[in-house]
Structures are given as structure tokens and as C-alpha cells.
């Protein structure tokens, strides 16, 4: 997932399925499209990194395969309801 170009096509190759069956399986299991599922996994990994590492937000974005910081902030905020920096603040207050 740390590869920026990792997408639906690469996931299909990794699991040995064509797009339509993979989409149908992921949709049935998660309720999301394959591309949304990949974004969700990236954000989940980012939340773990924000909780457990000293990486800055840009480093976390790159580590989860998103080169554009504004795009990372957008998908993170949409999924988590907080910007990455606000999420880190919230997590650090709990500890």
C-alpha cells in the first residue's frame, strides 16, 4: 500500500482476480467499491502511524502511498471526520 500507484489493477493482480469479481466480492464484504476500500485501508494504516510514530503528517502520507498532502488530508478527513493533525492531537490527549 505504500506505493503511490497501487490501485485496483494492482490489487487484482495480487489476489489473482479480474476487476468485476473482485469488485463484487469487496462490495459484498465491505459495502464499498474497490477504490474506496483501498483508500480506507490507507487511512487505517495512517491512523496507526499517527498513533504510534513520530512521523510528521507528510511522512505518514508518503508511507501510505499518497504523495499529495492536500489529497491525503482530504481522504483522511472524509474517512475519520478530523484532519490528520487534529486526529493526532486527539489521540495524544487520550494517552
Question: Average per-residue pLDDT in the chain?
Answer: 91
* DSSP symbol at 32: S
Alpha helices (runs of H) in the chain, residue ranges in sequence order: 8-15, 19-30, 34-52, 57-63, 69-80, 84-94
Highest CATH level, class, for 8-94: mainly alpha
Average pLDDT over residues 65-72: 94
Q: Give the pLDDT band (50/70/90) at residue 92.
A: confident
In percent, the amount of the chain with pLDDT more than 70 equals: 96
Domain boundaries, the chain: 8-94
Q: What is the pTM of this model?
A: 0.84
pLDDT, position 95: 63
Amino acid at each position: 500500500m505504500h506505493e503511490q500507484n497501487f490501485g485496483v489493477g494492482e490489487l487484482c493482480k495480487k489476489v489473482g482476480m479480474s476487476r468485476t469479481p473482485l469488485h463484487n466480492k469487496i462490495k459484498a464484504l465491505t459495502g464499498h467499491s474497490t477504490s474506496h476500500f483501498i483508500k480506507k485501508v490507507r487511512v487505517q494504516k495512517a491512523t496507526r502511524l499517527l498513533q504510534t510514530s513520530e512521523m510528521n503528517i507528510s511522512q505518514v502520507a508518503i508511507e501510505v502511498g499518497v504523495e499529495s498532502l492536500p489529497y491525503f488530508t482530504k481522504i483522511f478527513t472524509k474517512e475519520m471526520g478530523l484532519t490528520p493533525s487534529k486526529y493526532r492531537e486527539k489521540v495524544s490527549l487520550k494517552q
